[in-house]
Chains A and B, each alone.
Chain A
Amino acid sequence: MINYHPSIETLTDYAAGSLPLAHSLCVSTHIEHCSECQQQIRKLEMLGTHLFEQAKTEKRRLDSLKDSFFQKLAELPEQDILKKEQTATEPEQSWKDEYRIPRSLRQFIKSSYDDLNWMRLSPSFKIATLYNEEGGAQVALTRVKAGAHMPTHTHTGDEITLVLEGAFSDESGVYRQGDFINRDASHKHKPIVTKDAECICLTVLDAPIEFTGWLTRLLNPLIRRHHPYSPH
């Protein structure tokens, strides 16, 4: 049962295509688990369709564009294209471990979360950067051992967390697979992973998080160095 969803604004921006890609990645992963939001997106896309239909078009001859289009089409090797389309919708493969990689993340993770380049920040806490948007957000996975505390931290920008495996809780609730959690700079929180299993999350950080514990504060320069926003 999913309890935490993206806001209607986020879903609207996603359906309209105006949401930054890093955030869209989180929404996309969420709706793989959430039929409720899938329905919402379908309706939002219908709305987009009507606006698209009603938009004013200019009267302009498009003959030369049409000619060049059909010329381009004639030069396309059809077989190759069909093959490419097939790979985009390839059937479920078997994964190396018990985890199933969400479709939206398969462009980064081929067969197992273990394949990623994990950086250990504490004995129970690891992070792997999927990619850094130039001048933008950091997209990463975090992996925390069962029952472990994540160091207390505040956000210096917006943070989206999407639970992929396991569960964690903080002062405001318990978050399970598929839950979408949006935190802004005013939040300071101390998540704890549930005791039964490790927890893997997808996170998008618009700016580096800052640890506030007296010892973990030492990690801040390291975190900042890995975030694209940081002054090097």
Chain B
Amino acid sequence: MERVTQLEYDEERAADMLAVAETRDQAALARLFDYYVPKIRSFCLAAQPGANLMADDIAQEVMIRIWNKAHTYKPESASLNTWVFTLARNARIDYLRKNSRHQSDIDPEFLWQNVVDENADPFKDAQQKRDQERIKQGLDKLPKDQKQVLAKVYLEGKTHKEAAEELSLPLGTIKSRVRLALHKLTIYVKR
């Protein structure tokens, strides 16, 4: 029952996204704002606890990118949630780059754009949905310690090394937890 509702919500948002892209519908954008901004804010606060201003800035920036890049979003190559996650990730990197002591001249805009698959086909689309479902269900079943490390890396923006220092664990332990988790989620296949 719950899954059906979730799916309906996903479809509603996809329709809103289309309305933003095609008719520049601001009411649809406002609904996307209500859904995504709390998530983007907590994504930023995970990396910098208490930095509410930064979280507000980044959330607004992401919403502006959604508005400006609406026409470049391709539903067949990534889900809307994934697209927003990558926008939030890149905006957070960009913000930290411009405001940190370790300034960098690299423009992150150029570093992730090529991951977008331009030759998406229906077969891949189905494959992608399967992958997504597998990862989602697997994630719920992961042991706490593995999920904790994944959250450190993804949400808090820590490298494996930093996660090891913070949890006072050897780097090897962190690496093996991540590998085990990725293996269970069928993301990592040993070459």
B129-162: CB near A (< 8 Å → 1, else 0) gives 0011001100100000000001101110111101
> A16 and B154 in contact (CB under 8 A), knowing A8-B188, A48-B89?
yes
The reply to whether A17 and B89 form a contact with Cβ atoms under 8 Å apart is yes
The reply to whether B153 and A18 form a contact with Cβ atoms under 8 Å apart is yes
List A contacts of B132 (CB < 8 A): 46
Give, as a whole number of angstroms, the nearest-CB distance from B163 to chain A: 9
List B contacts of A52 (CB < 8 A): 39, 43, 81, 85, 88, 154-155
> A49 and B111 in contact (CB under 8 A), knowing A12-B182, A17-B157, A65-B56?
no
Q: Does A31 contact B (CB under 8 A)?
A: yes
Interface residues of A in 19-52 (CB under 8 A from B): 19-22, 24-25, 28, 31-32, 38, 40-52
Q: How many residues of B contact A (CB 8 A)?
A: 73
Give, as a whole number of angstroms, the nearest-CB distance from B145 to chain A: 15
Interface residues of B in 18-44 (CB under 8 A from A): 26, 29-30, 33-34, 37-39, 41-43
List A contacts of B68 (CB < 8 A): 76, 81-82, 85
List A contacts of B185 (CB < 8 A): 43, 47
Tell me, in angstroms, the Cα distance from A115 to B42 when the chains sit together. Answer: 44
The reply to whether A45 and B86 form a contact with Cβ atoms under 8 Å apart is yes
> A51 and B113 in contact (CB under 8 A), knowing A58-B42, A72-B64, A73-B67?
no
Tell me, in angstroms, the Cα distance from A40 to B110 when the chains sit together. Answer: 19
A64-81: CB near B (< 8 Å → 1, else 0) gives 011011101100100001
Q: By DSSP majority rule, is chain B's interface helix, strand, loop, or mixed?
A: helix
Which B residue's beta carbon lies closest to that of A43?
B187
Q: By DSSP majority rule, is chain A's interface helix, strand, loop, or mixed?
A: helix
> A55 and B111 in contact (CB under 8 A), knowing A9-B175, A18-B159, A65-B56?
no
B35-68: CB near A (< 8 Å → 1, else 0) gives 0011101110010000000001001100110011
Interface residues of B in 94-123 (CB under 8 A from A): 97, 101-115, 117
The reply to whether B112 and A28 form a contact with Cβ atoms under 8 Å apart is yes
Q: Does B72 contact A (CB under 8 A)?
A: yes
B11-22: CB near A (< 8 Å → 1, else 0) gives 000000000000
Tell me, in angstroms, the Cα distance from A81 to B64 when the chains sit together. Answer: 10
A194-229: CB near B (< 8 Å → 1, else 0) gives 000000000000000000000000000000000000
Tell me, in angstroms, the Cα distance from A106 to B107 when the chains sit together. Answer: 11
> A44 and B187 in contact (CB under 8 A), knowing A24-B108, A58-B38?
yes
Tell me, in angstroms, the Cα distance from A13 to B163 when the chains sit together. Answer: 11
Tell me, in angstroms, the Cα distance from A103 to B112 when the chains sit together. Answer: 10
Can you show 6 pairs from A to B with CB atoms below 8 A apart? A13-B159, A47-B187, A52-B81, A66-B33, A85-B68, A134-B104
